[in-house]
Amino acid sequence: MKSEDDCFQQALDHHRAGRLPEAAEFYQKVLQANAGHADALYLLGVIAHQAGQHAPAVELTVRALAIAPDDVRCYNVLGLSLMELGRDAEAEASFQQAIVIADSPEFHNNLGTLYRKQGRLDDAIASFRQALTQSPDYANAHYNLGNTYRDKQEMAAAAESFQQAVNANPEHASALVGLGQALLALHRAAEAVPFLERALALIPDDADLYCDLGDALQTINQLQSAVDQYRKALQCNPNSSRAWYAAGCAASLRNEHADAAFCFRRALQIDPGRREAQHNLGHSLFKLGQVGEAMKLFRQAATVGDPEAAQEAIAVIIPGDPESGNQAILEARRTWAERCLPQPRPSGRFSRSIRSPDRPLRIGYVSAFFQYRNWMKPVWGLIHQHDRRRFEIHLFSDAPASAIGHEYRRHPQDQFHDITGLSTEAAADRIEQAGIDVLVDLNGYSAMARLPLFALRPAPVTVAWFGMYATTGMPSYDYLVGDDTVIPPEEEQFYSEKIVRVPGSWLMFEPADPVPPLAPPPCSASHSITFGCLAPQYKITQEMVSHWSTILRQVPNSSLILRSTALASPGNRRFVHGLFETCNLSPERVRLEEPADYYPFLQTYDRIDIALDSFPYNGGTTTSEAIWQGVPVITLYGDRWVSRISASLLRAGGLGEFVAQGIEDYISMAVRLGNSPDTPDRLQELRSNMRPKLLSSPVCDTRTFARNMERLYAGA
């Protein structure tokens, strides 16, 4: 008997010290001496359960219960093992029997865990609450209750339960994680951060937990700190698709599109089914000017996963895709509009009789960009010249009036409507209440969130001008304003709107802001030509880089200046230099400059002799700024509206000589001008005479442009 007791005591000592194999060996010795030793059977069953050997655990605890039928401990372990084996009905009966024998909070907690596993969430909540009634500081019961509320998507209740678990046990790592995640789901990211940091101090090797913390930091715009957490996640698990994807998102928010693209590619290599990574990779590549590759990714995504998001992306970027023509643009935008836009409101709400000659015609302009003074120069040029005796002007703005600078010289009769944050329906109501006769969309696909507004048709006549560069593909637009250059008559078949044209250019600008004085062409002093393009990087495609490289190779000692927002990122600059290197052009000949404020940005033209336009997506504001600073812009007459923006401006401004009739002509024109010994004198003459020439041309004749637009509105 003494030997049996000694073996059992040694088994207990090993068990308490966590030496489970040694404990099991001594329990077996006890059972060899006494097969009916209930405690040895029970504790050996506990070890089997702890080791994940649930079938042996069931057999051992059943044997123990045959000897000690009221041993509540056996019913509890038996229930846990049966639950792991999927024998839920037997597990429930075992827990219920344990509760009958001894009403313990642990048993209610375990029963609740079984109910949650079965999806019986309300029963689980009742069991966890019963456990907490008996033991209010039972941290695991609070934690399990929090998880059950999270299963029910009741995140506020989940957060409260996790908080109670943490209050009961500040070192409860899982509860800290749950609380951080629940707060994130409740959009309380700043509150989530300290709990996730505390959890990481307890679980320092959890890649997903680093991602959770990174997501919280990214949400509160602490992007560098977020990136640091994603890097730690990748140190823990280099094959974490989630961490690569999250790092890509953080890089994208910092406009580090090259780094973002690298991260999204890695995420997809690890998990090809991560559709959001494919979508975001397409976005990053587009921002880098890799429009063709981006289009391929979006077209692939349109066939699986979330086709609406992919179709939206295609509809936005397709005018700048070198491989897509007018028919493809029309089809892509019609496809998106048909699938994603709301139906118009009931017809018959408007009557032409309300357009009485006794009152001015009410014109409503809708824009998300009134606060961007450079981009809106054509808009202000038109609005300032409107005849207020005949037209009542309403501005519907997705920015408050305080955000719009002095460039808008507000007329006392104008009415400003701040629709910032208004839903589509509420904005449509505001327009209807204002009794607008002609509603003019200035956004186009640059503000996708507002296109559903025009689908509702909140005014009798809807006109698209300024922000389109292609058809809308939407039946809700009555007219689209262009000119003979951007939309020749034979291409009207590719537009869903009726095309109306103004004489000259559909664009013009009012040179009202202070700008740098004209500088002499830099080649006069350096005796070498400096080309330049200050267009956004997304317009500079691989094809564009190839053509520019050809020009620079044929103009000895020439260089190229590029300047844009994207080039603030060192990674993006390395990427762009790499594009030129693939075209056998040394990076030393391509100067990549970071963005600047408006005035110093325009001073960049002091160091540029000849501007090279981008295509298929031309400059608009970029072209206007270049020629106003006396720098000629070489462009070409392309195969679609977006490829003829500059041609329209240059022809109307008396600079049509710089419009090439194809890529070969574009390259040869730049090479001839770059190599001619007469170029410095010619450029000096251009710089001296270009502003007076523009001021006397239709490009700056805002008054005549306003009269032309008013005729279109009155006849609509």
Which strands, in side-by-side order, build the sheet including 633-636? 590-593, 559-563, 530-533, 610-612, 633-636, 659-660
Distance CA 321, CA 303 (A): 19
**Residue 352 in this model has a pLDDT that exceeds 50:** no
User: What's domain 2-249's architecture?
Assistant: Alpha Horseshoe (1.25)
**Residue 354 in this model has a pLDDT that exceeds 60:** no
Residue 68, number of CB atoms within 10 A of its CB:
15
Distance CA 286, CA 241 (A): 22
pLDDT on residue 495: 98
Here the tokens at position 492 are 């009207």
Cis peptide before 521 (omega within 30 of 0): no
Q: Residues 6 or more apart from 415 whose CB is under 8 A from it?
A: 392, 393, 394, 395, 434
Q: Residues 6 or more apart from 255 whose CB is under 8 A from it?
A: 287, 565, 566, 568, 569, 572
pLDDT in tens, 417-453: 999 999 999 999 999 999 999 999 999 999 999 999 9
- CATH code: domain 523-700 is 3.40.50.2000
H or E element, residue 79: helix 72-84
Phi/psi region, residue 244 (left: phi>0; alpha: psi -120 to 50; beta: rest), is alpha
Same fold, 257-340 and 358-501: no
pLDDT in tens, 573-621: 999 999 999 999 999 999 999 999 999 999 999 999 999 999 999 999 9
What share of the chain in percent tops pLDDT 70? 98
Residues pairing with 530 in the sheet: 559
pLDDT in tens, 198-237: 999 999 999 999 999 999 999 999 999 999 999 999 999 9
pLDDT on residue 2: 53
CB 652 within 8 A of CB 405: no
Distance from first CA to last CA of the chain, Å, rounded? Answer: 108
**Residue 475 in this model has a pLDDT that exceeds 60:** yes
Distance CA 265, CA 8 (A): 59
358-501 folds as: Rossmann fold (3.40.50)
Here the tokens at position 13 are 């000592």
CA-CA-CA-CA torsion for 253, 182, 170, 195, nearest 10 degrees? Answer: 10
Q: Which residue's entry shows tokens 């080039």?
A: 567
Q: Nearest-5° angle of CA 663, CA 665, CA 668?
A: 110
Q: For the chain, give the mean pLDDT.
A: 94
CB 399 within 8 A of CB 429: no
257-340 folds as: 1.25.40
pLDDT in tens, 38-63: 888 889 888 988 889 999 989 988 99
CB 645 within 8 A of CB 609: no
Phi/psi region, residue 328 (left: phi>0; alpha: psi -120 to 50; beta: rest), is alpha
Longest dimension (CA), the chain: 117
Beta strands of 107-257 (E only): which ranges?
none
CB 10 within 8 A of CB 25: no
pLDDT on residue 27: 86
Domain range list for the chain = 2-249, 257-340, 358-501, 523-700
Closest C-alpha among 261, 282, 262, 264 to residue 272: 264
Closest C-alpha among 293, 336, 291 to residue 317: 291
pLDDT on residue 518: 94
pLDDT on residue 523: 96
pLDDT in tens, 95-149: 999 999 998 999 999 999 999 999 999 999 999 999 999 999 999 999 999 999 9
Rounded to a whole number of angstroms, the CA Rg of the chain reads 35
DSSP category for residue 302? T
Q: Which residue's entry shows tokens 């219920």?
A: 96
